[in-house]
Amino acid sequence: MLKRHVDRRRFLMGLGGLSAAALMVPGQARASRSAPVRKLSLHNLHTGEQVSASFWEEGHYIDDGLASFNKVMRDFRTNEVHAIDPKLFDQLFLLQHRLGKQGEIQIISGYRSPATNAMLRKTSSGVAKKSYHMKGQAIDLRLPGVELANLRQAARKLAVGGVGYYPGSNFVHLDTGPVRSW
């Protein structure tokens, strides 16, 4: 009997912790996480390609939407398509809702093949040797109508991955790795 009481107490304490954590997530972010449909509009600035698609409906990722995003986020230098982590699209969706800004997301860089990443490391500073771009877990982006500093601040407040700030190159980096910023 005592064991059951302790287990029940732990269970109830755990529920309290979850409830408190849910209250710390901003209302708009909570609502967007539970949205029945998640849709994004992506524009690759290097290829000129644009795609608008739903990637989540009624609790499930949509393969066709994800495939269209994978294509537009391909390595345009090698034309190599790679599966992009769906959590990255969730981040983008949450970010737009936090900002109250829907519409086009401009892609500076999505997936990078190892060859492209190596070439960029030789010609640019700030390119990681084991970049999340090579894993399909990162995007460098801009949102038209949103100041870069505001985009960075909103992304950091989400606390769901890496956020890099590159004002000299006019983009913000997002990835699905550990929470960190630079």
For the chain, give the longest Cα–Cα distance.
68
pTM: 0.80
Domains and CATH numbers, the chain: 25-181 (3.30.1380.10)
Dihedral sign computed on CA atoms, order 179, 64, 106, 81: positive
pLDDT in tens, the chain (182 residues): 444 444 444 444 444 444 333 333 444 444 455 678 999 999 999 999 999 999 999 999 999 999 999 999 999 999 999 999 999 999 999 999 999 999 999 999 999 999 999 999 998 878 899 999 999 999 999 999 999 999 999 999 999 999 999 999 999 999 999 999 99
Whether residue 60 contacts residue 43, with contact meaning beta carbons closer than 8 Å, is answered with no
CA dihedral 129, 130, 136, 141 (to 10 degrees): -50
